[in-house]
Chains A and B, each alone.
Chain A
Amino acid sequence: MMCDNCKEREVEIHLTKVENDTKVTLHLCKQCAQQKGFETGESILKSPLGGFIQAMGKGSANVLPTPADGLRCAACGSTLKDFRESGRLGCAQCYESFSTHLKDLLRRLHGSSQHVGERYALPGAAGATDPRLQLLELKEQLRRAVENENFELAAELRDRIRVLE
């Protein structure tokens, strides 16, 4: 498809805007889009947000030092490089494994890396035993026992679950 404006170059940018309440879609080449003052991939990279995109590893420049790329989370096996490429962490332990790098990123994203909201304690952590929780734990153990083909234990667990239910 050719650019709506110059009708010479290939379209690279599809721009949709709402004027009054009708939608207008323009198909432009990179040069014409820039002339019209719209931000393209390159100009976005120069904006403050661009720094963040690069820090997330989706840009071209290396904002963070590369030797750390091989850093690996012992719990799930994902690397810092995996995170940079996907923007997603592998597991909860990744936050510890990559903590120095993440602190920096969190500060840039949120302006802080310290959580000040609600605190959370794991179920049963306060010492109080909720009977519902006991039942859920037994069910979890039962699933593991079946998976490991430990049928003796499974039968015992099933009986205990029946009593509680």
Chain B
Amino acid sequence: MIDLSLLPDGGIGWLDASGPKGSIVLSTRIRLARNLEGYVFSQRAKDADRTAVLTRVEEASAASDLLKGAATIRLDRLERIDRQLLHERHLVSKELAGLDREARPRPGAALVVQGTVGVMVNEEDHLRLHGMRSGFALEEAYADLEALDADLGRLLPFAFHPEFGYLTSCPTNAGTGLRASVLIHLPGLVLTKEVGKVLQGLTQVGLTFRGLYGEGSEVVGNFFQLSNQTTLGKSEDELLDHLGKIVRQVIEYEEQAREVLLRTAPDEVADKTWRAYGLLKYARKLTFEETMNLLSGVRLGVGLNLIPDLSVYTLNKLLIFTQPAHLAALEGRQTGDPELPTARATYVRRVLETEAV
């Protein structure tokens, strides 16, 4: 089993709910796509090309100021449950972790991680640099990442073109290679049925939304990832400003929706959130999806100060550790174990008993 103590704070410092707007925005994540000059892109790369890229990145990391001493995790040498665990922590993509049915991680697939920043190696692009922060913190996340980009860019030859900018395997990422996403909880807009309008509005202003685990994932527990759609023709600052402005607006809409709910249907909202809390506290079997939906209800109650004795941190912890691979690792089981729903309910009860004030 993977030794997560190698990662400072296990790579989930961003879940501590310490960031701005922490009860509505879980985390802010930004990534930069970079490729090395002189090596074919991942799609055409043979195993030897991939391992050569990994060697270059490892040497550069060791020589760099910001990744010196970072943990390098070879995904191609990990068991499936460990790869899934890293994916559940949002540290690696499903593709890099080789989690699709019958897929295996390809040779040279790796994650270099240090504090709030990390690098996925041999994903769709040679390097995917990322920075993660708790709450709504685009500027801080980008500051971390910009420094890492500059540091590595002095040691590795990035593929760059004067007209097209940073060259990426897929032209949808060319230019800045920047995708910023904000993981946001919108139960108010879902309950007032306004969310469709808001999401539709996003696409009209050049933004897009995804589910909890990014590209191709489903929306569960009313969590949405909002991110920029285009990467070329605007500067990094412009892209971030634009996303920031729109996210602030979405937060405002969500807060208004919650006010409307409290004003027009206070009993229903209280009933919904306390029922969710009750189920989490006393249920004997919980599926992951049900847990996510109940946590969403309780989170709304905590955000509205209806449930006074719970912290957002506890809810975030439950969110992470009730995921299949996390729970299985915690309980020493396999992810397909039929007893997992029972183990999940026991775990949730225990955490709520000990952490509720």
Nearest chain A CB to B218's CB is how many angstroms away? 7
Task: Please state if A115 and B233 are interface contacts (CB–CB under 8 Å).
Answer: yes
> A112: shortest Cβ distance to chain B, in Å?
3
Q: Which range holds the interface residue count of chain B?
A: 35 or more
> Which of A20, A88, A123 interacts with B124 by CB under 8 Å?
A88
Digitize A111-147: 1 where CB-to-B-CB distance is under 8 Å, 0 elsewhere. Answer: 1111111101011000000101101100110010000
Q: Is the CB of A89 within 8 A of B171?
A: yes
Residue in chain A with minimal CB distance to B63: A132
**CB pair B163 A88 closer than 8 Å:** no
When the two chains form their complex, are residues A21 and B156 in contact, meaning their CB atoms are under 8 A apart? no
Interface centre among A92, A109, A123 (most CB of B within 10 A): A92
Distance between Cα atoms of A97 and B7 in the complex (Å): 42
Q: How many A-B residue pairs have CB under 8 A?
A: 137
A117 contacts B236, C-beta separation under 8 Å: yes
* Complex: chain A residue closest to B166, CB-CB: A120
**Contacting chain A: which of B54-62, B69-77, B97-105, B326-334?**
B54-62
B190 pairs with A21, CB closer than 8 A: yes
The answer on a CB contact under 8 Å between B289 and A113 is no
Most A C-beta atoms less than 10 A away, residue of B44, B190, B221, B231: B44
Instruction: List CB contacts (< 8 Å) of B133-163 with chain A.
Output: 153-163
B167-A90 in contact (CB<8A): no
> Chain A residues near B161 (CB, 8 Å)?
92, 95-96, 115
A90 to B191, CA, bound (A): 46
Name the interface size band of chain A: 35 or more
**CB of A150 within 8 A of chain B?**
no
**Known A-B contacts A102-B171, A106-B164; A89 and B41 likewise in contact (beta carbons under 8 Å):** yes
Interface positions of A from 49 to 106, Cβ below 8 Å from B: 76, 78, 86-92, 94-96, 102, 105-106
A67 to B206, CA, bound (A): 33
Q: Do the beta carbons of B167 and A18 come within 8 Å of each other? A: no
Contact of A91 among B40, B160, B174, B232 (CB under 8 A): B40
B170 at interface by CB-CB < 8 Å: yes
Task: Tell me if B154 and A130 are in contact (CB < 8 A).
Answer: yes
**A123 x B232 contact (CB < 8 A):** no
Which residues of the partner chain A approach B221 to less than 8 Å between Cβ atoms?
A: 21
A19 to chain B minimum Cβ distance, whole angstroms, is 10
Chain A residues contacting B256 (CB-CB under 8 Å) are: none
**In the complex, B27 has a CB within 8 A of chain A:** no
Indicate whether B293 reaches chain A with its CB closer than 8 angstroms: yes
* A81: min CB distance to chain B, Å: 14
Residues from chain A with Cβ under 8 Å of B323 in the complex:
none
A136 contacts B63, C-beta separation under 8 Å: yes
Query: Is there a chain A Cβ closer than 8 Å to B219's Cβ?
Result: yes
A23 nearest in chain B by CB position: B289
- Interface pair A113/B157, CB less than 8 Å apart: no
A22 within 8 A of partner (CB): yes
B97 CB to closest chain A CB (Å) equals 19
Give every chain B residue within 8 A of A89 (Cβ-Cβ): 41, 43, 167, 169-171
- Complex contacts, A115 vs chain B, CB 8 Å: 161-166, 174-176, 232-233
> Is B60's CB under 8 angstroms from A136's CB?
yes
A18 touches B163 (CB 8 A): no
Report how far A106 CA is from B164 CA in the complex, Å: 9
User: CB distance B44 to A76 under 8 Å?
Assistant: yes
Contact B59 A136, beta carbon cutoff 8 Å: yes
The interface bits of chain B over 38-51 (1 if a CB of A lies within 8 angstroms of the residue's CB, else 0) are: 01111110000000
B176 touching A117 by the CB < 8 A rule?
yes
Do residues A120 and B153 form an inter-chain contact, with CB atoms below 8 A?
yes
Alpha-carbon distance between A123 and B38 when the two chains are bound, in angstroms: 14
Whether A116 contacts B233 in the complex (CB less than 8 A), given A21-B293, A122-B37, A136-B155, comes out as: yes
- Write 18 A-B pairs (CB below 8 A) sorted by A numbering: A20-B191, A21-B297, A23-B289, A76-B41, A88-B124, A89-B169, A91-B40, A91-B44, A106-B164, A106-B232, A110-B174, A113-B233, A115-B163, A115-B164, A115-B233, A117-B178, A133-B154, A140-B56
Cβ-closest 4 pairs across A and B: A112-B233, A115-B165, A92-B159, A110-B232
Interface residues of A (CB under 8 A from B): 16, 18, 20-23, 76, 78, 86-92, 94-96, 102, 105-106, 109-118, 120, 122-123, 130, 132-133, 135-136, 139-140, 143
Contacts A115-B165, A135-B63 aside, 9 further interface pairs with beta carbons under 8 A come to A21-B187, A21-B296, A89-B41, A90-B43, A91-B44, A111-B230, A111-B233, A112-B233, A115-B174
Residues of B within 8 A of A (CB): 35, 37, 39-44, 52, 55-56, 59-60, 63-64, 124, 153-167, 169-172, 174-176, 178, 187, 190-191, 218-222, 230-236, 289, 293, 296-297
